[in-house]
Chains A and B, each alone.
Chain A
Amino acid sequence: MVTEPLFTQEEIAVIRALQVDLPLVSEPYKLVAEHLGMTEERLLEIMNRLRDRGCLKRMSIALRHNNVGYTINVMMVWDVPEDRLDQVGQAVAACPQVTHCYARNRLPEFDYNFYSMVHTTSEAEYDALVKQLETQINPRKYCALRTTAELKKIGMKYFVEDPYGGLG
């Protein structure tokens, strides 16, 4: 079976080029376009197209959030009746200290189906948030897993490296 490739070679070249830091010059896209051997107009056109297709969310930054005051980072996992997942998901998503929330599969070793990542700037704010979430979610049980060390955090590089890290 031959499947249509999702992206043209030109689009893949643009995706690769946008994965590295945007140059700190007055006309950054012009510089990126020059490296790609295309015009700035063409690059911006492809970027807009990738954005319209939902592939490129935005050009943006990743913050080292514990350097801007968010020192408490906790993955909270909840056991919620399946028929209440939608309602709970929407309520929790509205909470500004929650950056990610997902429904995930349960496992016998870890029987939770709703995940939320919470970030706060103080213990007091965290305690208040936990109380608020407990009330909102009303779970059968829950568990708070504090982040104690960051071992790796990078942006994914698509269409590039050996995925097996030399071990494949």
Chain B
Amino acid sequence: MEPAKTLFPSDYQIDELDKKILMLLQRGIPFCSRPYQTMAEEIGGVTEDEVLCRIAVLKEQHIIRRMSGFFNSRKLGYTSVLCAIQVPDDQVEGVAALLNRFPGITHNYLRQHTYNMWFTLISGSQEELEKILAIIEQDPRIDKVLRFYSKQRFKIDVTFDLHKEVTDGD
């Protein structure tokens, strides 16, 4: 099995300090004047400057893809839906280009199934969301967009444990 393709492969090996910084960042950057200083104190034995430098490197290496506010889309008045479509292999690129134009399509993946393209759409209203899906369904390459709405959320936690033993993919 080929590992999932990534746009930014990185050979950079993270060390123990990187892991500690990444775990703290995943938990949340403090809301205070000098948050990196607070993090440095919690880690112990490092300076604020070292923390800042490490974060800069982790961003450069594309291990951190963004460092910013994480919002609850529903609480902001937005609606979201998971969608699936069937796309022939030779049309993946073109269809992806169409989907990726929409700023509310935040995630788009190829998955092994007859419905092979899966994307999430976040939108300011149900009406706007349906209008966007109607534009997509007008495209002759796309037959039908399956819509999966969340009825109940049991977990959303994108915190990755970096302290566990990581074995090489085989």
Contacts and interface: CB of A to CB of B under 8 A. Distances in A.
A82 to B, nearest CB: 10
Given A58-B70, A60-B70, A93-B155, A152 B28 contact: no
Contact of B167 (A19, A122, A149, A161): A122
A6 B63 contact: no
For chain B, the bracket of interface size reads: 35 or more
Name the residue among B6, B62, B124 with the largest chain A CB count within 10 angstroms. Answer: B6
For chain A, the bracket of interface size reads: 35 or more
B28 A59 contact: yes
Contacts, number: 299
Interface string A143-162: 10111111111111110111
A153 B22 CA distance: 19
Interface of B: 1-10, 12, 14, 22, 25-29, 31-37, 48, 52, 55-56, 59, 61-73, 75-78, 82, 84, 92, 96, 99-113, 115, 117-119, 122-124, 128, 131-132, 135, 146-162, 164, 166-170
Interface of A: 6-7, 15, 18-22, 24-30, 40, 44, 47-48, 51, 53-73, 75, 85-86, 89-90, 92-93, 96, 98-105, 107, 109-110, 115, 119, 121-125, 143, 145-158, 160-168
8 contacts: A25-B52, A59-B69, A67-B12, A86-B152, A93-B154, A110-B115, A121-B164, A166-B101
